[in-house]
Amino acid sequence: MPGLILAAASSNSGKTTLSLGLQRLLQRKGVRVTPAKCGPDYIDPAFHAVASGQTSLNLDPWAMRAEDICLRSQAHAAHRDLLFVEGVMGLFDGAAGGRGSTANLARTLKLPVFLVLDVKGQAQTAAAIAAGIRDHDKTLSIAGVILNRVGSEIHEALLREAFGAISMPVVGAIRQSSALELPSRHLGLVQAGEYEALSDRIDAIADHMDKDIDLALMLDIARQQSNLPSVATSDASPLRLPPLGQHIAIAKDAAFTFIYPHILQDWKEQGASLSFFSPLADEEPDKGADAIYLPGGYPELHLDALSTADRFKRSMKQAAAENRTIFAECGGYMVLGHSIIGVGGEEKETLGFIPLTTSFSSPKLKLGYRILSPAAGDLFSSAMTAHEFHYATIEWQGACDPLFHATTATGAPLQPMGQRVGSVCGSFAHIIGLKPS
């Protein structure tokens, strides 16, 4: 099975937009694309799913073992034509030592890399940058470049001459256009589910790119240079996070969207049944569920609806009184608290299960990989990899048992994370999986 990785020299090069256009163009030509995303990202994979018609898989070389990445890739892309991986940040950017980088993933999967370069305001210098990236790590295959935001025919001619001089294929030269813009907010792009006529927008991106991209050349290179490792055996399986219960009710709507598909798949493969409910629609979790999961998302954008969702709140309080497991991450963790203060300073009551008030009135970015070890209770028994990414701050936190001991990606100790009260617990961390030994 061929595959490719779309990477960039830096963030904001247009990688995600071009990724969506390419997936749609490949789909139009009958290529059965299987999308994936490097690193801990929830938003881009949802866009991939619309562009390709297939679920996108997170592949994280910091949080996952190399053999698990290969196993998950093989299972995910079985019976498809092309594994299409979108990178993260710049090609070599990642945790300490480059772990978690797109380059790290490319080495693991042995896939050719196509480099997106924002060439606005550049000509020959863009080729020098690409040559430096190619020569920085000879173990990678920089198979070609896509030049983004090309200004004119003259600009393109100068660029092609410069890249010809370094013998690097130019597989695309995309003209700058407002057609390549997507709306964003503080955690990234506006979520796919909130974007009206998203598929039409992706069609417009694909239409704009169609004349400027050589898909046949990209596919030929991918077929020639792909060398996906074959490690799967009949009884091989990746490390899997144990399920929260036998039947897990999962909040899922515009306020609760940050859910890793690989974790849901792992839970199902271990025998758990899953059901979904919408707090924003004032739905209650399935009464037969022995565990409830409130994932991250954007509760701060829906405070009025959440604070008045009486049926949801009553059912959650009943579940807590029945000692059913309730676990929450990031935005879901905030909803477990007494209240959330919105961007404008308005304060809305939430579930009140744990002594916590969070606020968006003075946003401050908290970002990074985390290693978590259980500090209280028996819900988790092993160390886990996780990611923290939020702008909310803690306005007030009362005395409570912490949920996790935590370190950074490099092992530097952090303050204990999260809270636990009885069967209710949560933290700002998004769990990726069990920590590789």
What residues act catalytically? Answer: 330
Determine whether 97 is exposed, middle or buried from the number of CB atoms within 10 Å of its CB (0-12, 13-18, 19+): exposed
> What is the rounded end-to-end Cα distance, in angstroms, of the chain?
30
Residue reference for tokens 């797109």:
102
CA distance 208 to 201: 11
Q: Distance of CA 172 to CAs 132, 152, 168, 214, Å?
A: 20, 14, 12, 6
Q: In whole angstroms, how far apart are CA 400 and each of 73, 308, 345, 373, 420?
A: 41, 27, 26, 17, 7
The span from the CA of 183 to the CA of 5, in Å, is: 24
**C-alpha–C-alpha distance, residues 318 and 315, integer Å:** 5
Name the residue among 97, 90, 91, 88 with its Cα closest to residue 113: 91
d(CA 343, CA 336): 19
Q: Which residues contact 193 (CB under 8 A, 6 or more apart)?
A: 46, 254, 257
CA distance 155 to 341: 50
Q: Is the CB of residue 33 less than 8 Å from the CB of residue 54?
A: yes
**Phi, psi (rounded to 5 degrees) for 226:** -70, 140
The answer to whether 163 and 134 are in contact (CB under 8 A) is no
Who's near 167: CB < 8 A, 6+ residues apart?
Answer: none
